[in-house]
Amino acid sequence: MSGRNSLFVPGPTNVPDRILRAMHRAQEDHRSSSFPALTLGIFADLPKIFGSTKGQAFIFPASGTAMWETAIVNALSPGDRVLAVRHGMFSHLFIDTAQRMGMQVEVIEVEWGDAVPAGTIEERLKQDTAGEIKAVLVVHNETATGVTSDMAAVRAAMNAAGHEAMLMVDGVSSVASLDFQLDKWGVDFAISGSQKGFMMPAGLGLLCVGPKGLAAIPKAKSPRAFFDLRDHIKLNGDGYFPYTPALSHLYGLREALDMLLEEGMPAVIARHRRLAEGVRLAVRAWGLHACAKDPACQSDTVTAVVVPDGADAERVRDIAFRRYDLALGAGLGKLRGKVFRIGHLGDLNPLMLLGALAGTEMTMADAGIPIVAGSGVAAAQQWYRSTQA
């Protein structure tokens, strides 16, 4: 099929030409005296995207998933008790990682489509008068359900409980797209990856660690080798890595940081909100609804669209891909077949999203889902026409 595939999954996202050009280069000696000219600037600028002036950034040739493990083994010891919220597939997998690493995970079960309940976290931490809970694990933006939780409220709950547990936040689908404030929210370990808001190919695991998290690293007794942050701390300050880094990805990350900082994070956040609202208006115009139950918690990076009873969301996705070269996100776990997801993050503008919405309308009509052709596109068009970037 001619033209480009229309990629509207919530990651990986579209890679801008600027980043592709930056990555297309010959390999070089990563231990040369000139190499830090690249890396020291990256280490200085990356925390800004996490909303931090106090934290330290770490970069791995890995993924956001790998950063779950990195955070856990560098902060905790086997047998430590942690508190986690399960409200979607990625929070479920974060919990699974902690369990596999030997942690005792106490799970707060929340219906998929709801947000992280800060009040429940506060109540449980108040009960832990002996301080046995060493960390709280939460997903900021649950990509499976399209729900963004209030991390400021989580921090306020932890403070109200007077508890010293560390706060570990999965920001894979929020950092570089949504408002993220590591310092202000008191996040001790913030987890991300290159393939979403950073607009890059998958391949880099990104971590930002606050002062309390940094202090925990030498005390943790979990086995670690490749993911040992102590090795990075020894070398990163001089611009080097303890092993061969992903060189092309580092040049791409440098370009991604330049693009984000040129636009300015407030403008990046506002752009994602404006784009997302057009998608939400389209969904409502179709007579459908999002998986996120509270409108205030609907994500600005992904919308999980619930299909009508009797419809199969996987059939919708297959038609979109095979007939219209449109990639929509799958329903994950218990939501498989019940939702399809429209990713609206990274290098996007209104016209790109309108194309995706038009393709989604044609797909749903082909799948027998009763919608009025053009209704969602028109609703989004009106929104984008009436608002400014």
**DSSP string computed for 354-379:** HHHHHHHHHHHHHTT----TTHHHHH
CA-to-CA distance for 102 and 73, rounded, in angstroms? 10
Q: Which residue, 230, 262, 294, sits at the end of a domain?
A: 262
Sequence-separated (6 or more) residues with CB below 8 Å from residue 302: 10, 141, 143, 146, 173, 329, 341, 342, 343, 344, 345
Q: Answer with the one of 243, 262, 281 that is the final residue of a domain.
A: 262
Confidence (pLDDT) at 386? 97
Q: In the predicted model, what is the mean pLDDT of residues 35-52?
A: 98
| Domain termination residue (choose one: 239, 262, 285) | 262
**Quick check: is 90 in a domain?**
yes
Instruction: Indicate whether 257 and 337 sit together in one domain.
Output: no
pTM score above 0.85? yes
Total structural domains within the chain = 2
CATH assignment at residue 300: 3.90.1150.10
Model confidence at 1, pLDDT cuts 50, 70, 90, reads low
The answer on 21 and 159 residing in a single domain is yes
CA distance linking residue 41 with residue 36, whole number of Å: 8
**Domain identity same for 191 and 213:** yes
Residues 30 and 108 in one domain: yes
CATH of the domain at 48: 3.40.640.10
User: What band does 2 get if pLDDT is binned at 50, 70 and 90?
Assistant: confident
The arithmetic mean of pLDDT across residues 308-329, rounded, is 98
| Cβ pair 327, 320 in contact under 8 A | yes
Q: Name the residue range of residue 331's domain.
A: 6-12+264-386
The pLDDT score that the predictor gives to residue 177 is: 98
| Residues 218 and 281 reside in one and the same domain | no
pLDDT value at 222 more than 90: yes
Q: What is the mean pLDDT of the chain?
A: 97
Mean pLDDT of 111-118: 98
Answer whether residue 1 is part of any domain.
no
What pLDDT shows up at residue 283?
98
Give bridge partners of residue 193 from the DSSP assignment. 205
